[in-house]
Amino acid sequence: MLDIRQIRENLPTVQELLNRRGEYDLQPILELDEQQRQLETERSQLQARSNQIGKQVGEKIKSGSDPKGPEVQALKDEGNQIKTQLSELEPREKEIKAKIETLLLPLPNLPSESTPLGKSEAENIEVKRWGDEYIPKNPKIIPHYEIGEKLGILDFERGVKIAQSRFVALIGAGAALERAIIQFMLNRHIQAGYVEVMAPLLVNSQSLTATGQLPKFAEDSFKCEADDLWLIPTSEVSTMNLYRDEILTAEQLPIYHCAYTPCFRREAGAYGKDTRGLIRLHQFNKVEMVKIVHPDRSEEEHQKLVADAEAILQALKLPYRIIELCTGDLGFSAAKCYDLEVWLPSSGTYREISSCSNVKDFQARRANIRFKEGKKKGTKYVHALNGSGLAVGRTMAAILENYQQVDGSVKIPEVLQAFMGREFL
C-alpha cells in the first residue's frame, strides 16, 4: 500500500511514477485525507480541553469550591458537551480512514526509478542469456505434453475427468520426477541459507490483502465462501503473513524463507492461452523464495534473489534468459522485477519460469510488518522480496523438451538422477 504521507507531501513525484504504470486519480484520496486531518485536529483540541477541564475541576475542589456549586458544575457541563462531540467525531474519523484505505488498496506499487519505461511486455529489456550450448540439436522435438503422454507420465484426460480443464494427473515416473525437482530445489535453497517453511494452503482475506492479491485479483483466486478462506496463488502469501502485525528487531534481518506448495489460480483473464500442457494450470507446484530485509539492503538482496533462481536453472543445464520488466508490465506489488524465461525448443521460444520482484515496503505497509533498530525511537517498515525458485511444472516441461532424445526417451538431468534412481524416462 502506498504511504498517504508520501502522496500528500510529494504529490508530483508520486503522480508521475504512477503515470508510468497507467492512469490513477489521487485527488479523491487527498480530499478525504484533508477531511480526516481536520477531524483529527478538532478531536485533539477537544481532547486537550477535556483534559484541561478535568484538571481545573480537581484544582477548584481542592481549593475549597463546592463540588456541586455553579462554578464546578459549569466546567462539568462543558466537559460532558465535549464528550458528546468526541463520541460523534470518532466514528466520522474512522469512516473516512476506511474510505481512504479503500481507495489506496487498488493502487499499484510505485516503480523504482531504475525500472525501464514502457507500456507493455514488448518493451521489456533482455539483460542476459545463459546456456546456448545446452540448446538441443535434435530437430524433431515434440511438445512436452505429447512426449509426456507417450511416456505415460502425464495424463491430461484423467485430470479433466477428476476436475476440469487445466488439471493434470502425474503418473509413475512423472510423479517421481515432480517430487525430485521439488526436493532438489529445496535442498539447494536451504544450502544457500533459506529456512524452509510449510504454512497453510488456505488463508483468510486479510492475508491476501496484505500481499496485494486482494482486492485486485479476487476473480483469479479460488474462494471457500462459507469460511472466508482462499486457496493460495503462491506460498509468498502464507510466508509473508507469518510476520503480519509484528515488530521485528534489526538483528532478525534479513529473513530468508523457501517453501514448496501447490498453488491455485483461476487465471480468469487468460482463457485461450496455453490450453495444453503444463504451462498454465489451475493447480501447480512451486518452490518460492521470500526475503524480509532492511530497506538499505533490498536492491542488493534483489540481485542475490535472481542469482539464487538462476542457480537452479544452471544446475539443471536448462538454457534461459533474464528479462527486466518495464513499467507497463510490472506486477501489481512490484517496484522492480526480473523474469527468468526458460527455453522451450518445441515452440522455439523462451517462457517465464520465475519472476523475482522487489516490492520494497509495499507489502509491509499492508501487512504492518516493521522493525526497530537498537535504541532508536520509532519503527520502520521492512522491505520484502519474492521469487519462484522455480515453478515446478514449467521446469518439468523444460526438461521433457530440452532433454528429449532422438529415440523418444528423455534423459534425466544429472543432478536429479540420484533422486530418481534412473538415467532415462
Same domain for 100 and 129, yes or no, is no
- Indicate the number of domains in the chain: 2
Would 8 be classed as within a structural domain?
no
Same domain for 167 and 47, yes or no, is no
Question: Looking at beta carbons, which pairs linking 122-128 to residues 24 or more positions away fall under 8 Å?
Answer: 123/326, 123/328, 123/329, 124/323, 124/324, 124/325, 124/326, 124/329, 124/339, 125/323, 125/324, 125/326, 126/321, 126/322, 126/323, 126/324, 127/322, 127/323, 127/324, 127/338, 128/321, 128/322
Q: Which of 265, 365, 366, 370 is catalytic?
A: 265
The C-alpha atoms of residue 367 and residue 244 are separated, in whole angstroms, by 5
The confidence score (pLDDT) of residue 11 equals 97
The C-alpha atoms of residue 25 and residue 313 are separated, in whole angstroms, by 42
Q: What pairing do the DSSP bridges indicate for beta strands 247-249 and 370-372?
A: parallel
Would 183 be classed as within a structural domain?
yes
C-alpha cell at 384: 520484502
Least confident of 128-142, 169-183, 260-274, 346-360: 260-274
The C-alpha atoms of residue 239 and residue 169 are separated, in whole angstroms, by 27
Q: Is the pLDDT of residue 271 over 90?
A: no
Half-sphere exposure of 16 (CA within 13 A, CB side): 6
pLDDT per position as a tens digit, 288-324: 999 999 999 999 999 999 999 999 999 999 999 999 9
Same domain for 280 and 409, yes or no, is yes
Span 223-236, average pLDDT: 96
User: Is 394 annotated as catalytic?
Assistant: yes
pLDDT per position as a tens digit, 384-404: 999 999 999 999 999 999 999
Spell 74-83 as b/e; 16+ CB within 10 A means b.
Answer: ebeeebeebe
The residues near 151 (Cβ < 8 Å, ≥ 6 apart) are: 173, 174, 409, 410, 425
In this structure, what are the phi and psi dihedrals at residue 212, rounded to the nearest 5 degrees? 100, 0
The confidence score (pLDDT) of residue 270 equals 58
CATH code at 224?
A: 3.30.930.10
Same domain for 94 and 125, yes or no, is no
Q: Which of 355, 357, 365, 370 is catalytic?
A: 355
- Across the chain, mean pLDDT equals 95
Return the H-helix or E-strand segment holding 393: helix 392-402
Would 17 be classed as within a structural domain?
no
Same domain for 129 and 97, yes or no, is no
The confidence score (pLDDT) of residue 64 equals 82
Would 46 be classed as within a structural domain?
yes
Backbone dihedral region of 252: left (phi > 0), alpha (psi from -120 to 50 degrees) or beta?
alpha
Same domain for 287 and 261, yes or no, is yes
Domain final residue pick, 70, 104, 138? 104
pLDDT per position as a tens digit, 334-372: 999 999 999 999 999 999 999 999 999 999 999 999 999
Would 5 be classed as within a structural domain?
no
Same domain for 232 and 141, yes or no, is yes
Q: Are 184 and 419 in contact (CB under 8 A)?
A: yes
The residues near 95 (Cβ < 8 Å, ≥ 6 apart) are: none
The C-alpha atoms of residue 142 and residue 171 are separated, in whole angstroms, by 20
User: Is 280 annotated as catalytic?
Assistant: yes
Q: Is the pLDDT of residue 181 over 90?
A: yes
Same domain for 320 and 401, yes or no, is yes
Same domain for 139 and 284, yes or no, is yes
Domain final residue pick, 78, 104, 130? 104
Same domain for 190 and 310, yes or no, is yes
Return the H-helix or E-strand segment holding 299: helix 298-316
Spell 49-59 as b/e; 16+ CB within 10 A means b.
Answer: ebeebeeebee
Would 88 be classed as within a structural domain?
yes
Domain final residue pick, 104, 136, 158? 104
Would 11 be classed as within a structural domain?
no
DSSP letter, residue 112: P
Residue type, 221: S
Same domain for 143 and 84, yes or no, is no
Same domain for 49 and 133, yes or no, is no
| 218 vs 72, residue with greater confidence | 218
Half-sphere exposure of 170 (CA within 13 A, CB side): 16
Q: Which of 188, 280, 351, 370 is catalytic?
A: 280
Q: Which of 166, 188, 266, 394 is catalytic?
A: 394
In DSSP notation, 10-32 reads: SHHHHHHHHHTTS----HHHHHH
Q: Is the pLDDT of residue 59 over 90?
A: no
Domain that holds residue 57: 25-104
DSSP letter, residue 220: G
Q: Which of 101, 299, 352, 373 is catalytic?
A: 352
Would 425 be classed as within a structural domain?
no
pTM: 0.92
User: Is 114 annotated as catalytic?
Assistant: no
